[in-house]
Structure formats: C-alpha cells, structure tokens
Structure 1
Amino acid sequence: RGVNLPCKPIWGAHDARHPNYNPPQYEPMWAVIQDCDLPATFHISTGMDPRAARKDGGAVINYVTHACPTVIEPMSCLCASGVFERFPRLRFALIECGIGWMPWALDAMDEAYRKHHLWAYPKLKQLPSDYFREHGAASFQEDAAGLRLAESFNLVNNFLWANDYPHAEGSWPHSAEAIERQMQHLSDDNRAKILGLNTAKMFKFDADKLMQRRQAASHFN
C-alpha cells in the first residue's frame, strides 16, 4: 500500500550514486507514484548507517542521531523543492521516526525560506511547512513531547501512532497503557485521528470495512 524509499536500505551518507530527492531526475518517479495513488514512505535511518556509533553510548547515539532525525532530509527535499506544486496529489510518510522534532523542523524550514530568501529557490506558493501539513505524515511509538505539541502546531492530522511490534522501542505488549499515558490531554476525535484515521487516509484503507472484519473475527474468539 506504499512505496518505501529507498527501495532497499542504503546505509551511509549520500553520494553521487545516491543523491538527495530534490533533483529533477526523480520527477518521473514522483509522477508514477502519484498516478498509482500510493504514498512514498521514508523509513527511520534513511541515508544513514544506524550502527555507525560504537562502544560507550553507541546504542543511544545511534538511535538519537543516526536513526530518528535522518528523515528530516527527505522531508525537506520534498517540501522545499516545489515537488508538491508539480505533483499536487503526491503524499508521503516518515516511518518510525518519532514526532517530537517535527514542530522545530517545520519552523526551521520556514525560517530558512524567509530569511535566506536571496538564495532560496524555487519561489514557492506556500511555506515549506504548509506542504508537509497537506501532503505528509510521521509515525511514532511513544513520543509525549510531540503529542503535547500536536494541537498547538496544527499537526493532529499528520501524526500516525504505531506499536512497532516486535521491536524493542515499540509499545507492545503494553500499547494500551502507553496510549493512555501519552494521550490523556487529547480529545476523543483527535485520538481517533492519531490512532488510526490518519493512517487510513494516508494509505487509503477503508476504516469501516476493517472495523467490520474485526467485529466479525471477535465472534470466533
């Protein structure tokens, strides 16, 4: 139900063989993805080796610096390069990367576009952050900071919860407790969006049919 980019993991910094996603050579790919009505997804650690740090603190260093924030690069490439003006039905999702960094990154893109306007091109019809809110999403497992900022930064429609089973950083088998611990301040409507409706919209799932199947399956338990 989506196209994962890169199609196979590429560990290490971008080079001539693996350029960023803003050059024109990717235009045919965006056109095909848009025509197929599929989202492009960028997995945690895109463009980096998630095992780069070694020895003391390596596990924490890798997760915080070589895994979660790496998707800022493809997000910026899409939102700042005019891709969505040429492909207005294209959509994308950043997977397993957390959301607490998102408000800062969106503000930083807009700040750079405004304050570096002499060098910023192409000139966009909207701010870079607007393109993310209209076309993008980001998934998380546990991210209290991001959820506290979801409403004030108008990102309730862009956040996707996932339990990331069976990975260690996921919330399974304590997902219900994790949800209640982080989402007490959210309205039922906003919870529903983050817990499933946003994902259904991004990946074109029929939420009503899925609920009917779940209810039917429960009769056999």
Structure 2
Amino acid sequence: CSENGLGGVLLPLLTGEYESYHHPKYDPFWEACQDLNIVVCFHSGPAPMEDYYGQMFPMGNIDNYPGAVGIFISEVFFWTYRPLIFMTWGGVFERFPRLKASVTETGQGFLLPPMLKMLDHHYHDTHFSAKLGDYRTHLSMSPTDYFKRNCAIGASCMPRTDVEIRHELGLEQLMWGSDYPHPEGTWPHTAKDLKDAFTGFPEDDVAAILGGNAGKFYNFDMAAVDKVAAEVGPLKSDFV
C-alpha cells in the first residue's frame, strides 16, 4: 500500500470470529502502520444486523421486526467508535504513540463529547470498577488525550452546530466531508451547505476543518491539493 502511494487502510468494525483490536496479536500490524505512516480507518455502517432484522437477514421478512431501522440508526454510530475504545483501553495507542486512526460518518456532535467524558470518568474514578481488576495502570494518559493525539474524525456533512463546538470536539481532529455520492450527502448543494455551516467563523479554523487537518493527518501532498482547490474549492470570501 505504502509503496503505491496509499495512505490509509480500512478495517472492519466487527471482527466476527477473530480477536478484537485490543489483542496483542495485532501489534505487528499496528507497528507497520505506524512506521509507514498508514492511517487505520473505520467507517460507519457495519453492525450486528441479525439483532435488528432477525437471524435470516438479509433474506428474512423485516416486517416481523417493527422499529428495526430506528434501532439500527440509534446504535450504528456506537459500533463505529467501538474499535477506538478497544484500542484505547487495550493500550494500542500507548504502545504505538505515532499510530493514527480515523472514524468517518460518526454523528460526532451529539455522541463524541459524552462518550469521551464517560471514558475519562472510568479512567479517573476507579472506585466502583477497581474490584474487577486493573485496567488502567498500563496507560499513561486519559482516553481523551489519546484521542486528541492519535485520532481524527471524518465529519460527513458537518452541521453548523458541530462547528460551534469544534473546540470541544477537537479542532485539529475535524475533517469535513461531503459524503458524495450518497443521497444524504451535501451534493448537489455543497456550496450552500458550506456557507451555512462555516460563515462567520475564524478563517484559520475553517481552513483547518475543510482541508488542513486532513492534509496533515493523511500526509497529503498539499502543493498538489492546493492546485485542485484553486480550481474547484470555495473562496475565503465565501465565509465572511
């Protein structure tokens, strides 16, 4: 991958019959990704569909499972973040401090802050869980600190409300995306959506979210990116 110019590898959210991502057997893979500057990527969508639609999914009658879609869309983003939880508590980011991981299309604004708050709570307050065994002395930082150092968010169709809490989410972690060509994406109204979301915010913050953060995280050739952006990208004046 690296020799052919690829900068990321997409891993499944669900490992099925294989070990989950906190198992040390994956360490050689994490080490290779770290050394080659390959980003480990996770994308929303996969979930235990049989729980929602029955054991015969996708061949069964989904009408027998009322509310299945509502249950799925309520839980699907949790499954997207789940590998990061395994990697954090499993010490993957501790052992490989330069490893980078991204999650994409995750509903970050309403889910990420309380999730990190919950993880940090368990890291700092061990009174109620220490009886289960040691789970944190192998970590030198809080889950939030690992997230800010090692992770980034592919923020699909980022709404203005998420831009408003960009510092709470982590300004340097946010990478805007259009989700093209999905029908829930911004196309063909991308220009309007960008203006609605980003107008009035500091120029440096907007530039970081719209491209700078992704360029740094994925080690893009920004000179090449700038040439394309000059032809098709929005203007700074669009967000005044």
TM class, shorter-length: 0.7 to 0.9
Task: Summarize deviations over 1:113-156 as a string: whole Å, max 9, x none.
Answer: 122362452422110110000110111223434333212x1611
Decide whether the 8 Å contact of 1:110 with 1:127 is kept in 2: yes
Listed one character per residue, the Cα deviations across residues 8-57 of structure 1 (whole Å, up to 9, x for unaligned) are: x75xxx55x13321111111111111122100001113454399454455
Which residue in the other structure is 2:221 paired with? Answer: 206
Greater mean alpha carbon deviation, residues 185-194 or residues 115-124: 115-124
Picking from 111, 115, 123, the partner of 1:113 is 123
Q: Work out whether 1:79 is the aligned partner of 2:94.
A: no
The question of 1:167 aligning with 2:167 is answered no
1:94 aligns with 2:74: no
In the alignment, the residues of structure 1 paired with residue 85 and residue 203 of structure 2 have an alpha-carbon distance, to the nearest angstrom, of 31
Q: Kindly indicate whether the alpha-carbon contact (under 8 Å) linking 2:157 and 2:179 is maintained by their aligned counterparts in 1.
A: no
1:103 matched to 2:90? The reply is no
Question: Any idea what SS the aligned residue of 1:157 has?
Answer: helix
Q: Post-superposition shift, 1:171?
A: 0.9
Q: Report the counterpart of residue 42 of structure 2 in structure 1.
A: 42
RMSD of Structure 2 on Structure 1 (CA): 2.6
Residues 201, 185 of structure 1: CA spacing in aligned structure 2 closer, same or farther, 3 A cutoff? same
Number of aligned residues: 210
Measured against aligned partners, the alpha-carbon deviations of 1:45-93 in whole angstroms (never above 9, x if no partner) come to: 345439945445544442332x322122111112222212211110010
Once the two structures are superposed, the pairs formed by residues 192-203 of structure 1 within 5 Å of their partners are 192-203=207-218
Q: Percent identity?
A: 29
Which one has a bigger Cα radius of gyration? Answer: 2
- Structure 2 residues not aligned, in runs of 5+: 1-6, 54-61, 234-240
Q: 2:78 aligns with which of 54, 69, 77?
A: 69
Gaps of 5+ in 1: none
Decide whether aligned partners of structure 1 residues 184 and 48 sit closer, same or farther in structure 2, where only a CA change above 3 A counts. farther
Flag the structure with higher helix content: 2
> What TM-score, normalized to structure 2?
0.77
- Which stretch shifts more, 30-39 or 53-62? 53-62
SS in structure 1 of the partner of residue 108 of structure 2 = coil
Equivalent position amino acid for 1:164 in 2: D
- TM-score, normalization by structure 1: 0.83
Q: Which amino acid aligns with 2:36?
A: C
Matches of 2:103 and 2:11, distance apart in 1:
10
Q: CA deviation at 1:105?
A: 1.1
Match of 1:149 among 154, 165, 189: 165
Quote the offset at 1:172 in angstroms. 0.9
Q: Which residue of 2 aligns with 1:23?
A: 23
